[in-house]
């Protein structure tokens, strides 16, 4: 695995793979309610194996709810979620992880009072990755030398950017085939945002399929093979990343002007 | 001076037992976020089991701890995975308060029916031996009780710090969502936490049985003690339970010796109220951050 600072441009390579592969993730008619509030309704999208797919949309559009349903953290009211051809609708999160589906949640959610190393160990003990535990640790520490330096420190004492690295590292410890990232650049400095996006590109180049939720429109759409625009819990537009980037309606909807 | 030393030692022994009797309560509150009002039942059930084993087969209560712990572990696990989990998932976390309160009454009455209302004691062969430490004499049972309590608390501390299960419990306590995304079955870990907690409570019961009289109705006092220990020491960690337990034990012993044995309860509550006002996070603070 190459370091985070690798400057390779994996989009083109991933795009060709994406064009030929069958969808690794397929979501149809997804719906979720928080009590009486409908957050997601009739939401559908797919992610081709090896590709980068983005979900974008304004605050409260239902992005987090959608990916949490996919990862099994929430149980949808309706719809189906297929992963690698298998129906995983309603499969609890700890079982979905075992199939190779990892969600790096919004707000990082690192285990604050565990050390950096313990954070990684907890996730690295999933059955699918247990045999590779030490190799995965090496991988994550090579990817994020910063985490290695701070391995004995409590995760709560890390900076925001370091916590995001740890959250991603924790996801990688489970040996995912699909890595879902919910707003990984939230609250990071511009330079760190660029680092994180490079890293995501590098992970994708290694063959990990990426589903990314972002507010950072430009960098996300530049990287994504395909993107879906969510509004009030529905997909209102979709298309190639760069194609959507030039769509004035997307910007308007995204900024909530529409 | 002699009286002071003797009182201090008595207080520390009592404190060690309080710590062990409270640590499970603290763990459940820290990891699952519920106040388990059935806690004292597990303590007293452990004492009755030790009594029954001693009466039937002459098993020393301290040697019976592994068996008592195993049985209560299973009971605690099943209790959480059924009644407690149903209450939490169908109603709310607060509902568990009512449910555990109700279950405590049911179990207390069952224990009374089964073992009778009388106050019981367990008297192993070494009950009347004592050891001289300089000018002070310490009962053998008290020494054994303190040793067993410390050994179990140390074991729990090591398990929490060093094993995968320990890390998993702490992870679930802090971020249940992220824990499940990391492959942990949160409900199962809640059940296991309850099991560990019940086992330790039962062990403390066996120890209490050789040091103090007990009856089914003393379960209320043990739940209350656990609550005070947690407020004094801080939530969720064995170290917090130890700090809280020792302070409580010393308060109890000093009050009984220098003020009046009748005022120990009042003094405990006075300290509890002061603590809540002055340092609500406890002596050592919460083990799992500000999440609870
Ligand atoms: N726990 C909750 N209880 C009630 N309503 C909720 C809850 N979580 C989210 N919602 C509502 O569901 C809708 C979708 O929220 P969601 O978090 O999925 O949006 P999002 O697209 O991720 O937003 P953001 O970009 O701000 O993260 C919003 O209207 C939100 O208010
Ligand atoms: Mg969100």
Domain boundaries, chain B: 2-121+135-291
pLDDT of residue A14: 43
Q: Is the CB of A216 under 6 A from ligand 1?
A: no
Give the separation between CA A145 and CA A161, rounded to whole angstroms: 13
pLDDT for residue A116 is more than 50: yes
For residue A10, pLDDT over 60 is answered with: no
**Residue-wise pLDDT tens digits, A89-115:** 999 999 999 999 999 999 999 999 999
Residues paired with residue A81 on neighbouring β-strands, in sequence order:
A27
**Residue A256 pLDDT:** 53
Check pLDDT > 70 for residue A13.
no
Task: Give distance in angstroms: CA of A65 to centre of ligand 2.
Answer: 7
What's the confidence (pLDDT) of residue B272? 86
* Residue B81 pLDDT: 96
Q: Which fold has domain B2-121+135-291?
A: ABC transporter involved in vitamin B12 uptake, BtuC (1.10.3470)
Q: What is the DSSP letter of B120?
A: B
Calculate mean pLDDT across residues A186-192: 91
Residue A240: what pLDDT? 92
Q: Give how far A136 is from chain B: nearest CA, Å.
A: 14
The mean pLDDT value for A149-168 works out to: 96
Our answer on whether the CB atom of A105 is closer than 6 Å to any ligand 1 atom is no
CA A84 to chain centre: 17
Per-residue pLDDT band at A258 (split at 50, 70, 90): very low
More confident residue, A242 or B101: B101
pLDDT for the residue A255:
57
Q: Where are the domains of chain A?
A: 1-100+177-258, 109-175
Query: What is the average pLDDT value for chain A, to the nearest integer?
Result: 90
β A52-56/A37-48 pair status: unpaired
Return the axis-axis angle of helices B164-174 and B2-31, rounded to nearest 10°.
70
Chain B nearest-CA distance from A94, in A, is 4
Confidence bin at A253 (pLDDT 50/70/90): low
CA-closest candidate to residue B282, choices B212, B242, B232, B248: B232
CATH number given to A1-100+177-258: 3.40.50.300
CA distance B154 to A66: 44
Report residues of chain B scoring pLDDT below 70.
287-292
Q: What's residue A9's pLDDT?
A: 42
Interface test with A, best of B168, B180, B183, B285 (most A CBs within 10 A): B183
Q: Which ligand places an atom closest to the C-alpha of A228? A: 1
């Amino acid at each position: 695995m190459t370091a985070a600072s690798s400057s390779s441009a994996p989009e083109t390579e991933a795009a060709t793979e994406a064009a030929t592969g069958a969808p690794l993730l397929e979501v149809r008619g997804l719906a979720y309610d928080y009590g009486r509030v409908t957050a997601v309704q009739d939401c559908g999208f797919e992610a081709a194996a090896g590709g980068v797919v983005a979900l974008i949309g304004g605050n409260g559009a239902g992005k987090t709810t959608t990916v949490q349903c996919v990862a099994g953290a929430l149980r949808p009211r309706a719809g189906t979620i297929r992963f690698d051809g298998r129906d995983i609708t309603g499969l609890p999160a700890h079982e979905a992880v075992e199939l190779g589906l990892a969600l790096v949640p919004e707000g990082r959610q690192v285990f604050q009072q565990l050390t950096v190393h313990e954070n990684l160990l907890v996730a690295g003990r999933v059955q699918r990755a247990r045999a590779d535990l030490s190799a995965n640790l090496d991988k994550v520490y090579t990817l994020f030398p910063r985490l290695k330096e701070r391995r004995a420190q409590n995760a709560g004492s890390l900076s925001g950017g370091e916590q995001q690295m740890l959250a991603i590292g924790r996801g990688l410890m489970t040996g995912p085939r699909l890595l879902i990232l919910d707003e990984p650049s939230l609250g990071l400095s511009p330079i760190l945002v660029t680092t994180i996006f490079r890293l995501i590109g590098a992970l994708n180049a290694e063959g990990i399929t990426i589903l990314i939720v972002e507010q950072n429109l430009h960098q996300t759409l530049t990287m994504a093979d395909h993107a879906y625009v969510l509004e009030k819990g529905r997909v209102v537009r979709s298309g190639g990343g760069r194609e959507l980037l030039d769509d004035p309606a997307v910007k308007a909807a995204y900024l909530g002007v529409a | 001076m002699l009286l002071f030393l003797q009182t201090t030692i008595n207080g520390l022994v009592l404190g060690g037992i309080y710590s062990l009797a409270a640590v499970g309560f603290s763990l459940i509150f820290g990891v699952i976020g519920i106040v388990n009002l059935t806690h004292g039942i597990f303590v007293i059930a452990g004492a009755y089991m030790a009594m029954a084993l001693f009466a039937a087969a002459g098993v020393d209560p301290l040697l019976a701890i592994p068996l008592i712990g195993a049985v209560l572990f299973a009971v605690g696990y099943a209790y959480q995975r059924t009644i407690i989990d149903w209450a939490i998932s169908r109603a709310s976390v607060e509902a568990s308060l009512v449910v555990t309160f109700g279950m405590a009454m049911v179990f207390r009455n069952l224990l009374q029916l089964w073992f009778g209302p009388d106050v019981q004691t367990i008297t192993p062969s070494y009950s009347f031996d004592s050891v001289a430490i300089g000018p002070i004499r310490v009962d053998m049972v008290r020494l054994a009780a303190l040793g067993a309590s410390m050994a179990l608390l140390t074991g729990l501390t090591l398990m929490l710090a060093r094993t995968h299960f320990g890390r998993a419990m702490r992870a679930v306590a802090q971020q249940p969502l992220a824990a499940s995304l990391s492959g942990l079955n949160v409900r199962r870990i809640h059940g296991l936490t309850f099991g560990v907690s019940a086992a330790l409570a039962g062990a403390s019961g066996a120890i209490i049985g050789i040091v103090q009289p007990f009856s089914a109705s003393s379960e209320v006092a043990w739940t209350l003690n656990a609550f005070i220990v947690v407020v004094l020491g801080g939530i969720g960690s064995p170290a917090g339970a130890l700090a809280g337990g020792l302070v409580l034990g010393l308060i109890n012993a000093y009050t009984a010796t220098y003020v009046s044995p009748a005022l120990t309860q009042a003094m405990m509550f006075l300290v509890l109220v002061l603590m809540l006002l002055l340092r609500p996070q406890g002596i050592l603070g919460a083990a799992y951050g500000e999440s609870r």
